[in-house]
Chain A
Amino acid sequence: MTDPIRDEWYPVALVSQLGPEGRDTRLLGEPVRVAWHGGAITVTSGGRSLPSQQRYGHVWACPGTPQRPLFDIPEADQPGRRLVDVGLVRVKCSPLRAVENFLDIAHFPFVHTDILGAEPHTEVGRYDVAIREEVDEVWATKVHFYQPQAAKSAAGGITTEYMYRVPAPTVSILYKTCPPRPGEWDVITLFVQPLDEELCEVWPWMALFDDDTPMTDLIHFQQTIFLQDRSILENQLPHRLPLDPGLEIPTRADLTSVAYRRWLKRRGYTYGAQLVAA
């Protein structure tokens, strides 16, 4: 029998920052080593070699037996995009909480004040959410929200359109209005490495149309956003993501989060989840 948790792909290192000394880290509570061997990168755990690959600037590993290929981001290969390795943020929270927070729009005016949101523009309008059975992914579309500074390249406030995609339990991909190139989407991802059930490392990564902003500023902008999230994430109770909403009252603004939790429940993905309301 396969284990849906062990059979997923997880990020374990940034290719561009993996030095000759390698990287000792953890995955699902077990020690993992990422290292160069004769020009190739290998990932081992307990003396066992794990399936691994390099994609989207990161090294990906699977502790079990992969049941499907790593998800596709076609925009990663689109000419003209800048691919941004944002780096690493360690967060003392459930890996599922980190993904869920990324899917939440309602907190923008209060946590990312004057950047991704601002009062009095706090209303989350109706949007569409679906579990796309053909690809087994969660998608939220037609999400509109007023943002004072939607991106580093944005000049002033705009109503931004978003699409959210969850292609794997600890990965979320955001597609948002691209200020310098209408008709295209900026792609901002959150790759989450579960160290254990209540501790994770978050690797944001971006594929943007922005020829002007210095790379350092792009990275700094995204890190600023995520560091604002971190203080919220580390203080959320319960620490694990409840799949039974006993202590929380989800509303229509939480439609994406509810779809994400339903999807996890159906897939039997419970690492970092709270199964029964305390």
Chain B
Amino acid sequence: MPVERFIIRGDLAAATFLPWVARHLLRLGLRGETQRSDALCVEMLVEGPADLIDAMEMGVSLGPIEAWVETIERLPLNRCGSA
């Protein structure tokens, strides 16, 4: 199954942001793991079918109303976890 690293940048300080992302992952049936997060950047791994990873990007680009996602950088990973 494809795995991608999402590097999400923007105004992400809202407490609702990470729980919202976790819920959207579940809704799409994807697996994900947050590796780093602060008020301006969240890095996470997303695993699942390619079309659903696309849909994850679409959803997160809107996100909860309290957050503003400026960009999402996607890096496909190989099975060993490196880009």
Contact = CB atoms under 8 A, between A and B. Distances in A.
B55 A244 contact: no
A258 B65 contact: no
Nearest to A259: B61
Interface stretch (A28-36, A98-106, A208-216, A261-269): A261-269
A219 B61 CA distance: 38
B32 interface: no
Interface string A243-256: 11110011110110
Interface in A18-71: none
Contact of B51 (A251, A262, A276): A251
Interface residues of B, number: 16
Interface residues of A, number: 17
Contacts of B28: 249
A97 to B, nearest CB: 16
B59 interface: yes
B64 A244 contact: yes
Nearest to B59: A245
A73 interface: no
A237 interface: no
B68 A266 contact: yes
A275 B54 CA distance: 23
Given A243-B62, A244-B62, A249-B55, 8 more contacts: A244-B20, A244-B65, A246-B20, A250-B59, A252-B58, A255-B58, A265-B62, A265-B68
Which 7 A-B pairs rank lowest in CB-CB distance, beginning with the nearest?
Answer: A250-B58, A275-B65, A251-B55, A252-B54, A245-B62, A245-B59, A258-B58
